[in-house]
Structure 1
Amino acid sequence: MSKGEETKSRILHQAAELFNQQGYAGSSMSDIMRVTGLQKGGIYNHFQSKDDLALQAFDFAIARIKQHTRFALRSKRHAVERLQAIIGIFSSFAENPPIKGGCPLLNTAVESDDAHPALREHAQQAMNSWLHLIRRIIETGIAKGEIRSEVSADEIATIIIATLEGAIMMSKLYGDSIHMYRVINHLNQYLENHL
């Protein structure tokens, strides 16, 4: 990796954490300069605008989560095991998130709802990817006879994601990971009993 690529990667990481903690609207160029230690020109040498940086920083944060997901799924073959591995990732995120500030998808989806259409589109793409992964695991499990045929992949994907994201929100709001642990226990029991 060249020095320029290293600098860009460092900016992305630092900006992703800043945006994830303060929001896009709540982060000024002065804030970005402070966390990166660079002047405006040094940042704009790698990014066309604050919007460009925000989009790439969000994609960087999502790529970190996808990397954790791939690692967790690597050795899992059974569909329910794979779903439990995805749920387990969020258990580790409660104590040690890959990006400071909580779930970048949740944070960005809430902030960009009406205010930033391009960020909203990136959040939708990330959510679509997550929904698709869970649905694919369930559909493969049904085809292999590991999951009951009458199970709705769409319904289970919605339940898993909405429940985990709600747990992240409550854990962050109250500063207490107990909400995440309750949800993880519930979802694991749900998968074992209903699939």
Structure 2
Amino acid sequence: MSTKAERTSAYIIETVAPIFNKLGYVGTSMSDLTEATGLTKGALYGNFENKDSLAMAAFEYNSKKLLSKIDEVLDTDGNCLQKMFVLTNFYRHYDTFVKELGGCPILNVGVDANHNNSQLLAATRETIKNIEGKIALVLENGLNNNEIRLPVTPLQFAKQLYTMIQGAVAMATITADRKYLLNTIAYLDQLIIREIKK
């Protein structure tokens, strides 16, 4: 059973994670955090050393939610192609999934941290590698099971696929137009059929 301090820390992280993700590291003030949590600055710093450690915990919280969802998506029954289509379908509705997170943690934190927080940037890059690795593993298994063909290595294909997905996420976010996401995912489905289907 968790202690009161652990429950308080969990509450703080869960509450501030979407705020940091939406407003960014620099854009999030202590008053934003105290107002959202209903706690004093002293109470926040009683649970977290400083704003850096709180921002990192918030990113890790959102990142873990995203990675768990991707695991769930890729662990579905079926062959490699079926898993790839479950993945693209998840990204077709990605904006709905990340709404409670305050937006895409990869896009929001990655861009915001690029010039402001090297630790958050490193954590975002690690999450990107993690996602690409998960996709590459599905492709590698598909290749080993003779289910697909690949024009490049599994990791290279995974990186290109993820780059196109994140580009679509960025454009849909910036323009507030889901068509960027929907049209890119429709294109990726065709690309998967054309490039890797046996």
TM-score (norm 2): 0.90
Contact residue 172 and residue 181 of structure 2 kept, 8 A: yes
Identical columns (%): 26
Which residue type is aligned with residue 178 of structure 1?
A: K
Deviations 1:106-157 (A, max 9, x none): 1111111132111111111111111111111111111111111544223311
- Deviates further, 22-31 or 40-49: 40-49
Paired residue type of 2:27: G
1:119 and 2:126 are equivalent in the alignment: no
Corresponding residue of 2:85: 84
Count of residue pairs brought into register by the alignment: 195
Matches within 5 A, 1:1-195: 1-97=2-98, 99-195=100-196
* Corresponding letter in the other structure for 2:163: A
Aligned partner letter, 1:91:
R
What is the SS of the residue equivalent to 2:114? Answer: helix
Secondary structure of 1:102's counterpart equals: coil
- Structure 1-normalised TM-score? 0.92
CA deviations over 1:58-103 (Å, ceiling 9, x no partner)? 0100111122122223323311222222222222222342544321
Equivalent position SS for 1:129: helix
SS in 2 for 1:114: coil
For residues 88 and 108 of structure 1, do their structure 2 counterparts lie closer, same or farther at Cα, with a shift above 3 Å needed? same
Q: CA RMSD in A?
A: 1.7
| Kept in 1: contact 2:151–2:195 (CA 8 A) | no
Which blocks of at least 5 consecutive residues in structure 2 are unaligned? none
> Once structures 1 and 2 are overlaid, which stretch shifts more, 71-80 or 113-122?
71-80
